[in-house]
Amino acid sequence: MLYFIRRILFFLLTLWAAVTLNFIIPRLEPGDPAEDIVRKLVGQNKAIDPAQVHAIRLMLGIPGGNIFQQYIDYLGTLVHGQFGISYTYFPYSVTSLIGQSILWTLGLVLTTNIIGFIIGNILGAFAAWKRNGTFDSFVSVGLNFVGTLPYMWIALILLFVFAFQLQWLPISGGFSETSTRQLSWDYAWDIVVHATLPALSLLITGPIGWIMGMRNNMVQTLREDYTRLAIAKGLKPWKVALLYSARNAILPNVTGLAMSLGGILGGVVLVESVFDYPGMGRLFFDAVGNRDYPLMQTIFLFSVVAVLLANLLADFVVGLLDPRVRKGEH
């Protein structure tokens, strides 16, 4: 029980620190969002009327006063679940914009991470069981090279080959402009087709981390006494590999999966920008470019809370699966 209490207290402390940094970091960026909006309206080389800037600040509800009062007001809005109005997409609220975008990113990230996790751990376990063989050599050398390739570079290659040259898949967007946008098999298939290239961009390198992690962990567990005893007893190889070695080797990857699922922005900002995919990554990219503090802060906050909750859940799962972790706390 003490193990779980400590995990919860650490979660709350980390959450407070993340909320505070989430408030401070956007305000370190130079410039005034209201002034930027006025400058876009009147032109870059023309003088700006301070009254116009003041009117924009009042319209957008940009906070004033000293930094400490802004921090107190910010905490108050979080407690009441009020995240403000987006400067970029005025007069839409931040929550409505995130509500529209998060489902697209969740569908993309959850699908690619789960598929990558399953494929990666299976291939990693096979490479460890057949270590020093042909497949293991390919995994150790070939996949390490592929893993160094950035998501955006892979996305651009896929876009050029399959969208521009072969014209097999759409160039951008989450659905066709002619789509009815009503729940149907045709609309679902249209979404799948548009998500294929972004998903492939993430899946080409996504499983590599799971493969290498599972392989290295399982190589260690294959040297443990309980695994050698199982082999000496004459158990079937698949039982030794799955029930004895892989079961323990996969525990560190469980934490990694939780972290990757929590970090929905990880690796998708540039990918969604390349494919103009209507997800959180593109929304965050627009918010940063326009100094949209409410939208930036809320996306940051949602991402951090998701990572912390996923990490807390992973700690609980690992603590339940491996009693040695709980005993280590005493």
Q: What is the pTM of this model?
A: 0.69
Helix or strand (DSSP H, E) at 140: helix 134-146
Single out the residue of 127, 87, 145 nearest to residue 214, CA to CA.
Answer: 127
pLDDT at residue 183 tops 80: no
d(CA 136, CA 193): 34
Average pLDDT, the chain: 76
Confidence category of residue 268, pLDDT binned at 50, 70, 90: confident
Percent pLDDT > 90 in the chain is 0
Residue found under tokens 């004459």: 234
The rounded distance, in Å, linking the Cα atoms of 305 and 86 is 20
Q: What digits encode the pLDDT tens for the residues 116-170?
A: 888 888 888 888 877 777 777 777 777 777 767 777 788 888 888 898 888 888 8
Cα angle: 147, vertex 170, 159; to 5 degrees: 35
93 three-state secondary structure: strand
Class for domain 104-291, per CATH? mainly alpha
Confidence band, pLDDT 50/70/90 cuts, at residue 261: low
State how far the Cα of 34 lies from the Cα of 15, in Å rounded to an integer. 30
pLDDT band at 26 (very low <50, low <70, confident <90, very high): low
> Tokens 């996790």 label which residue?
117
Q: What is the mean pLDDT of residues 180-191?
A: 78
Tens-place pLDDT, residues 291-301: 777 788 788 78
pLDDT for residue 312 is more than 70? yes
Domains of the chain, by residue range, sit at 104-291
Alpha carbon of residue 145 to chain centroid: 23
What tokens appear for 54 in the block? 């003041």
